[in-house]
């Protein structure tokens, strides 16, 4: 029973996490659609166009002068560490100690260290090849996600990187946690000192578009208000320069996400990885002066998957059938954006409607009706698009127990690949083992595919204190992996198993109740379909069916019912009472329009992402007009109507000092739902 509770808790956390990733990619695809189909002069296109540009100053031969640190003075009162270059082991060790004691590195040193890192990454290959000596092991770490305490614990238990203690860090160093930048600076410092012994792979979160949603952008701008913009721009270049894989002794492949049935390491070794500043969008191909992104079409038909009954959405790189695309599925992702030669200059809503109709779309920007000439999508695929697919698969994919290779429609990117694909790809390249990360595992690691695939995850307490252990791998010349597990939190180490499960279960149920609360209007409508006489009573089966249909989290709702519904009577649920019981104290507000508040709660992360995209100078402030444009973009993305009057009321309610501008952080915090009863 305890193990069942633990697994159920895990499914809740993971389903909510993947739904968020899916929403992120879906929103980015919407922006891509605007870029591909709106006139260059349209105001909506101008708001977001900068996130799709290759970083011009990074491509210019004078990029170093743009990021020059020399004019930045370090005051005598600065209490943090002082760096000297070239970096030494002693210098990086002092940096580790400084971060351990919560000190902040001065912006001059940050830019200098990042600049040196950028120069080194230029000469590294796409795939690092490593050999293990007979007398030393190599250590392999998985996702850290801003959890500096986990990295420090690994170093404490295993030792600092050196020529005698080589490391591979397998991506996803940033986002979610609070110390992402510190982790990067430590890893880059050791890379400078030991370029042949420290190997860093790119993860799917080493992407400036993903960082807008999951916290890294906000972290950098909060810590470095003056020079944060330059730091972020330099990190864009660094992320695109990180190697994509590491191979140990020609037998062990290490990638962040995984593989697909099309994975070709020879192709990967030849790609120009530096041009993929974001892996979420394929290279631009010009057709009659218009960008084409046909490789984004996806199969959203009924395909099997590792989670029974889960409704999946489009993935980044796969094509799909016409019949499947016309169904109105609640969650979608980067879809096909066919080319249209006509340009109209009109409002956002009118433009969307006309573009959908002219391009043969149904009701959504992501649902093309293909002609017979488009029935073979591979025929028009370019070499760049094939490269892009390979990179996305390496960064975003997950293994599944079934044979085959299908779109990863839960995350919205990459694929699910089966044991047959593992055998095929490893056999093709004469490899024995694939080590990947990308998925949180309760024990910190997990084998699958007849022990040919090994997942390693190094951020302990990822979802909640006690939710999972972190782990790292030590591997000698025999290439046999040995695991070390840990909990970075003293609290979690002191909990019994039952206490740990209870703690994380409460947190998971709280997160789930929040999801239910923000969807309450849609839930009521779904319940009423089973209640034609408006009695307020429906069966437990109908309650579970409607709840899953609205949230699409693939959870065992009937099993969860005792934790979510306080009482039932003869297998019937009083859903009106249940909705009232779900209530979470809402922030005090003068907004009279309940629909705009519910939209805001439901799309809190999307809204913050758009705000940070529009805030091009990274000042943390946007004007009333930019605020209005943000809401117009969101309402078009959601295909809902939000009046200008409601938006104006919302803006005025948060403009506390009445200066005509809105502080993004204050706004998002003012309307963040927090249940004060959690963990009490």
Which residues are catalytic, by number?
205
523: Cβ contacts below 8 Å, ≥ 6 apart: 516, 546, 547, 550, 575, 579
How far apart CA 650 and CA 602 sit, in angstroms, is 16
Residue 391 burial (C-beta neighbours within 10 Å; 0-12, 13-18, 19+): buried
Residue with tokens 């149920």: 509
Helices and strands (H and E) in the chain: how many: 27, 20
Q: How far apart are the first and last CA of the chain?
A: 24
Q: Which ranges of 256-298 does DSSP label H, i.e. alpha helix?
A: 265-270
Helix/strand/coil for 532: coil
How far apart CA 640 and CA 334 sit, in angstroms, is 20
Look up residue 50 and give its DSSP letter: G
Look up residue 51 and give its DSSP letter: G
How far apart CA 276 and CA 391 sit, in angstroms, is 9
Q: How many CB atoms neighbour CB 535 within 10 A? A: 11
Residue 616 burial (C-beta neighbours within 10 Å; 0-12, 13-18, 19+): middle
* Sign of the alpha-carbon dihedral angle for 494, 496, 502, 504: positive
Helix (H), strand (E), coil (C) string for 135-178:
CCCEEEECECCCCHHHHHHHHHHHCCCECCECEEECCCCCCCCC
DSSP state letters, 638-671 = HT----HHHHHHHHHHH-TT-SSEEEHHHHHHHT
CA 528, 533, 539 angle in degrees (round to 5)?
Answer: 60
Cis peptide before 490 (omega within 30 of 0): no
């Amino acid at each position: 029973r305890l193990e069942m509770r633990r697994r159920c808790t895990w499914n809740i956390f993971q389903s909510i996490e993947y739904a968020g990733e899916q929403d992120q990619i879906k929103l980015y695809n919407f922006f891509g659609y605007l870029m591909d189909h709106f006139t260059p002069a349209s105001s909506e296109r101008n708001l977001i166009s900068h996130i799709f540009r290759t970083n011009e100053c990074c491509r210019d031969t004078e990029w170093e002068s743009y990021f020059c640190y020399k004019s930045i003075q370090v005051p005598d009162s600065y209490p943090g560490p002082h760096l000297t270059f070239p970096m030494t082991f002693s210098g990086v060790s002092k940096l580790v100690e400084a971060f351990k004691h919560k000190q902040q590195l001065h912006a001059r040193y940050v830019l200098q260290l990042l600049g040196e890192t950028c120069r080194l990454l230029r000469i590294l290959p796409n795939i690092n090849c490593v050999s293990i000596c007979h007398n030393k092991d190599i250590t392999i770490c998985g996702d850290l996600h801003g959890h500096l305490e986990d990295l420090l614990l690994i170093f404490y238990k295993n030792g600092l990187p050196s020529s005698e203690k080589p490391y591979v860090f397998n991506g996803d160093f940033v986002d979610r946690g609070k110390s992402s930048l510190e982790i990067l600076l430590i890893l880059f410092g050791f890379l400078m000192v030991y370029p042949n012994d420290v190997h860093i792979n790119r993860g799917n979160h080493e992407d400036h578009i993903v960082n807008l949603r999951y916290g890294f952008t906000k972290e950098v701008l909060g810590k470095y208000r003056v020079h944060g913009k330059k730091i972020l721009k330099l990190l864009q270049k660094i992320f695109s320069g990180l190697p994509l894989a590491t191979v140990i002794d020609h037998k062990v492949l290490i990638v962040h996400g995984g593989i697909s049935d099309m994975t070709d390491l020879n192709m990967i070794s030849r790609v120009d990885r530096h041009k993929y500043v974001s892996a979420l969008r394929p290279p631009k191909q010009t057709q009659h002066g218009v960008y084409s992104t046909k490789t984004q079409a996806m199969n959203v038909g009924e395909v099997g998957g590792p989670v029974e009954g889960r409704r999946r959405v489009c993935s980044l790189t796969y094509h799909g059938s016409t019949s499947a695309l016309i169904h109105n599925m609640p969650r979608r992702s980067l879809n096909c954006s066919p080319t249209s030669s006509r340009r109209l200059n009109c409002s956002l809503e009118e433009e969307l409607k006309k573009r959908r109709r002219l391009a043969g779309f149904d009701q959504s920007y992501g649902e093309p009706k293909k002609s017979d000439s488009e029935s073979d999508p591979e025929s028009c695929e370019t070499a760049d698009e094939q490269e892009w697919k390979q990179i996305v698969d390496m960064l975003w994919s997950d293994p599944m127990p079934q044979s085959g290779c299908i779109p990863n429609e839960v995350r919205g990117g990459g694929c699910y690949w089966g044991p047959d694909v593992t055998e095929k790809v490893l056999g093709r390249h004469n490899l024995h083992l694939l080590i990947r990360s990308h998925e949180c595992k309760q024990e910190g690691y997990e084998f699958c595919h007849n022990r040919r695939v090994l997942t390693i995850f190094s951020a302990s307490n990822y979802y909640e204190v006690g939710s999972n252990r972190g782990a790292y791998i030590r591997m000698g010349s025999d290439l046999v992996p040995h695991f070390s597990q840990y909990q970075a939190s003293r609290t979690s180490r002191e909990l019994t198993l039952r206490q740990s499960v209870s703690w994380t279960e409460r947190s998971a149920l709280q997160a789930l109740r929040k999801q239910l609360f923000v969807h309450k209007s849609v839930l009521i409508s779904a319940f009423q379909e089973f209640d034609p006489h408006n009695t307020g009573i429906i069966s437990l089966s109908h309650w579970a069916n409607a709840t899953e249909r609205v949230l699409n989290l693939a959870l065992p709702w009937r099993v969860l019912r005792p934790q979510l519904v306080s009482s039932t009577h003869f297998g019937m649920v009083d859903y009106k009472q249940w909705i009232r019981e779900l209530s979470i104290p809402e922030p005090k507000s003068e907004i009279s329009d309940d629909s705009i508040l519910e939209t805001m709660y439901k799309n809190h992360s999307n809204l913050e992402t758009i705000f940070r995209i529009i805030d091009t100078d990274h000042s943390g402030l946007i004007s009333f007009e930019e605020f209005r444009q943000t809401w117009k973009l969101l309402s078009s993305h959601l295909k809902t109507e939000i009046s200008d009057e409601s938006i104006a009321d919302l803006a005025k309610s948060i403009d506390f000092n009445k200066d005509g501008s809105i502080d993004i952080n204050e706004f998002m915090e003012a309307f963040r739902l927090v249940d004060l009863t959690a963990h009490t």
